Amino acid sequence: MAATALVEDRVPASAAPAGWEARLELGFERVASRTVLSARRHVGPLRVQKPLYPEGADVCQVIVVHPPGGIVAGDSLRIDVDAGERANAQFTTPGAAKWYRSAGKVARSDTVLRARDGALLEWFPQETMLFDGARAAIRLRVELAGDARFIGWDVTNLGRTASGERFESGCMHQTLELLRSDAMCWCERVVLKGGSRALQSGAILNGAPVFGTLIAAGGGVDDGVLAACRSASPVSGDGAVTRLPGVLVARYRGDSAHAARTYFATLWRVLRPALAGREAVPPRIWNT
């Protein structure tokens, strides 16, 4: 079943009238030894700060900013990224994406990342925080061509756990897709209903409010790299690593978004030299 069909079957279009629409389109190109942000267009409250080069000219780092600071019922966010041949682009965010309570309208986020032959895309947003009562439809689609590489993660926090809030009502529809040369390598679709018994199931979240997925695609994940990834463990919660044809998938389930991001960053330090031929340099904004 297609992701749109999965969402629309349960959330009729009439229940989700338009709210605040925001769109961000970015293009990257390789010019000599430098990756440049060659195209940038935004509509509404979604944009990037100036390109950064903490590792030198080869890797262009951008910070995606949503000035309102939260996503409300009926909002629609769209990010489109196109990385040209041999371009290296890295993305992160300054803070958690907060999805507020809804009285019925659905908020949507749709991200499409495209990488052409020889390109590297790194997608490292901070966590998605769903307030109790939020209704969210979230999709991340990664399209790779040739020998393009990708490393990225997604972390979800159900409820404002620091204040004792749980995800007792609302709904989240989440889709993660990875394709190479138009062939599906990884696809996951999740529907979570707030307060449902399924959230307590040992086969799903076992009552944990935080879960996340890391995906890495590209050459270089040999047995030694796999073993190094599996030797890492989160400071709290559970982690697991699986190698599939063409993609490595890591999971986190626990009670801390910080623990999830720290665990995935540890795996990134192992994976990046293998996939990109360079050491991992954590974005400075992670320390602020």
Please give the Cα distance from 76 to 111 (Å, whole number). Answer: 11
Q: H or E element: which one contains 266?
A: helix 257-276
pTM of the predicted model as reported, rounded to 2 decimal places = 0.91
At 275, the amino acid letter reads L
Please give the Cα distance from 237 to 211 (Å, whole number). Answer: 9
Cβ(150)–Cβ(112) below 8 Å: no
pLDDT tens, position by position, for the chain (288 residues)? 233 222 222 333 333 345 789 999 999 999 999 999 999 999 999 999 899 999 999 999 999 999 888 999 999 999 999 999 999 999 999 999 999 999 889 999 999 999 999 999 999 999 999 999 999 999 999 999 999 999 999 999 999 988 889 999 999 999 999 999 999 999 999 999 999 988 988 888 999 999 999 999 998 899 999 999 999 999 999 999 999 999 999 999 999 999 999 999 999 999 999 999 999 999 989 887
pLDDT tens figures, 235-288: 999 999 999 999 999 999 999 999 999 999 999 999 999 999 999 999 989 887
Q: List, in sequence order, every residue forming a beta bridge with 140; answer none if it has no partner.
A: 111, 176
Q: H or E element: which one contains 215?
A: strand 210-217
At 247, the amino acid letter reads V
Burial class (CB in 10 A: 0-12, 13-18, 19+), 64: buried
Please give the Cα distance from 107 to 135 (Å, whole number). Answer: 6
Half-sphere exposure at residue 253, Cβ-oriented, CA atoms within 13 angstroms: 14
